[in-house]
């Protein structure tokens, strides 16, 4: 895995928390449909994969929010990229804090 992104998708026109969650759920569904590994956190979702797939997914996420009815959004994105190499995975970074979570059952720290 040469790339990891952290995406925070913010609805700018939601009128309630329920509406915000509904739109964000649609964005997360698009992430899930991508087939890439991801971890949903309380403020952002981390996605891991190859660079091109991660960059394409960013556009897909914005489009998913718009398709869900969000007329204006803001996104904060962090990108870790090591061309031809391996970036630290979510498991590498926080797996030790989630020892009973099956997502983190295999340690791949290099």
Distance CA 44, CA 72 (A): 18
Q: What's this model's pTM, rounded to 2 decimal places?
A: 0.88
- Taking only the tens place, the pLDDT of each residue in 31-54 is 999 999 999 999 999 999 999 999
DSSP secondary structure letter of residue 70:
-
Q: List the one residue out of 2, 27, 6, 8 whose CA is nearest residue 94.
A: 6
Residue 81: C-alpha distances to residues 32, 49, 90 (Å) = 21, 10, 14
Helix axes 51-67, 17-33, angle to 10 degrees: 140
- Taking only the tens place, the pLDDT of each residue in 46-105 is 999 999 999 999 999 999 999 999 999 999 999 999 999 999 999 999 988 988 877 665
């Amino acid at each position: 895995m040469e790339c990891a992104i952290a995406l925070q998708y913010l609805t700018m026109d939601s009128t309630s928390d329920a509406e915000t969650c509904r739109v964000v759920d649609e964005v997360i569904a698009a992430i899930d449909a991508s087939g890439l590994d991801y971890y949903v956190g309380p403020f952002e979702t981390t996605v891991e994969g190859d660079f091109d797939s991660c960059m394409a997914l960013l556009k897909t996420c914005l489009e998913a929010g718009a398709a869900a009815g969000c007329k204006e959004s803001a996104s904060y994105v962090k990108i870790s990229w090591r061309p031809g190499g391996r970036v630290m995975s979510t498991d590498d970074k926080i797996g030790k804090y989630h020892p009973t979570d099956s997502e983190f059952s295999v340690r791949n720290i290099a």
